[in-house]
Amino acid sequence: MIAQRKDDHVRLAVEQQHGPSGHNQFDDVSFVHHALAGIDRPDVSLATEFAGIAWPVPLYINAMTGGSEMTGVINRDLAIAARETGVPIASGSMSAYFKDASCAGTFSVLRQENPDGFVMANINATASVEKARRAVDLLRADALQIHVNTVQETVMPEGDRSFSSWVPQIEKIAAAVEVPVIVKEVGFGLSRETVRTLRDLGVRVADLGGRGGTDFARIENGRRELADYAFLQGWGQSTPACLLDAQDVGLPVLASGGVRNALDVTRALALGAFGVGASGVFLRTLMDDGVSALIAQISTWLDQLAALQTMLGARTPADLARCDLLIHGSLRSFCADRGID
């Protein structure tokens, strides 16, 4: 049953990517153009550091899959793309492995194909400390993602309906595992209040996982006999809104959800992210055009990111946070409603 769900998620996520790709709130963020701000390309570095983590580039392939034969092949190809481009990569939820260890290879392929890369394991917030450790061990993971996904669970026909244990469980896991713990949303966003709670629980990094790209309410509705939870589609805060909301909390943040191109990556970094993740866009490229196309796409994004940093006068991704930004439209209204300057 889990294997079928994993295959459904891939199919429905790629279908969503084939739909109209429209405006999202990244379009409400623009840079003030300073015509003399440019620097020299050889002086630009893409390296980023946060919470004791050092990445060669501020872009990563975010959590997607594993647990079935087809998704094992996808993980192999994602891992090859990560290895060839140097981007960090996260596994999909490893619940399937805890239920049936015979699918271990569909996850561990991420490490086999990418022995020296930065690999993140992924679990849900009900996993025991022992399972968290098993997930890290299987991938020899450099960090552990814990996903929080109440909206998805609510729409998922077989989803969880008990969420109150998540906060104490996250605290236990964060205290027990040796690697940094990153808590992530799956496309509905983390509010400032949630990021504060995570900081106080000892979590090292928050991945804001905002609205604007893959919509798991829509995916799970597509798996229901009646699509009777359609009213939850579009729920939550966008990724740029989350970045603005969480800017003063004091916990390092990663940005993902709705990232479409290198300009969105640059915008997210300018809004304070230490790294930027994408899932749906990369999955679509892999499924439609294969692993070479995915390697080319990621390489192009990295090249464009360095070009944009050069034009904007940012020697490092962190320097982008000093750029002058304009916030328009509904994102501006969000800031006013939340009292953000």
Q: Which residues are annotated as a binding site for substrate?
A: 5-6, 152
Stretch that binds ligand FNR, among 33-41, 58-66, 188-196, 285-293 (CB under 6 A): 58-66
- CB nearer ligand FNR, residue 64 or residue 170: 64
> Residues 58, 72, 86, 92: which binds ligand FNR (CB under 6 A)?
92
Stretch that binds ligand FNR, among 7-15, 103-111, 167-175, 296-304 (CB under 6 A): 7-15
Query: Which two tokens mark 50?
Result: 């946060």
- Strands 325-327 and 205-207 turn out to be unpaired
Binding site for FMN: which residues? 63-65, 93, 122, 184, 214, 258-260, 279-280
- CB nearer ligand FNR, residue 26 or residue 31: 26
Query: How far is residue 78's CA from residue 65's CA, in Å, rounded to a whole number?
Result: 10
Residues 234-273 binding ligand FNR (CB under 6 A) are 256-259
Residues 194-213 binding ligand FNR (CB under 6 A) are 209, 213
Residue 25 sits in the site that holds ligand FNR (CB under 6 A):
no
Amino acid, single-letter form, for residue 11: R
17 close to 284: Cβ distance less than 8 angstroms: yes
> Residues 64, 135, 243, 244: which binds ligand FNR (CB under 6 A)?
64
What is the closest distance, in whole angstroms, from the C-beta atom of residue 46 to ligand FNR in the complex?
A: 19
Query: How far is residue 62's CA from residue 88's CA, in Å, rounded to a whole number?
Result: 8
Amino acid, single-letter form, for residue 23: H
Binding site: which residues? 5-6, 63-65, 93, 122, 152-153, 184, 214, 258-260, 279-280
- Strands 59-61 and 53-55 turn out to be unpaired
> Residues 48, 85, 197, 279: which binds ligand FNR (CB under 6 A)?
279
Which contacts qualify for 224-233: CB closer than 8 Å, 24 or more apart? 224/155, 224/157, 225/157, 229/154, 229/155, 232/151, 232/154, 232/155
> Residues 136, 186, 208, 243: which binds ligand FNR (CB under 6 A)?
186
Residues shown for the chain: 341
- Which helix (H) or strand (E) is 183 found in, with range? strand 181-184
Stretch that binds ligand FNR, among 29-37, 57-65, 76-84, 163-171 (CB under 6 A): 57-65
Which among 65, 127, 112, 117 has a CA at the least distance from the CA of 89?
117
> Residues 10, 109, 198, 305: which binds ligand FNR (CB under 6 A)?
10
- CB nearer ligand FNR, residue 88 or residue 92: 92
Task: Round to the nearest angstrom and report the end-to-end CA distance of the chain.
Answer: 48
> Residues 63, 79, 253, 262: which binds ligand FNR (CB under 6 A)?
63
Residues 133-162 binding ligand FNR (CB under 6 A) are 145, 147
Q: What is the largest CA-CA distance in the chain?
A: 59
Residues 6+ apart with CB under 8 A from 183: 125, 145, 146, 147, 148, 170, 190, 198, 203, 205, 206, 207
- CB nearer ligand FNR, residue 68 or residue 197: 68
Task: Note the residues at the interface with ligand FNR (CB under 6 A).
Answer: 9-10, 13, 62-65, 92-93, 122, 145, 147, 184, 186-187, 209, 213-214, 256-259, 278-281, 283
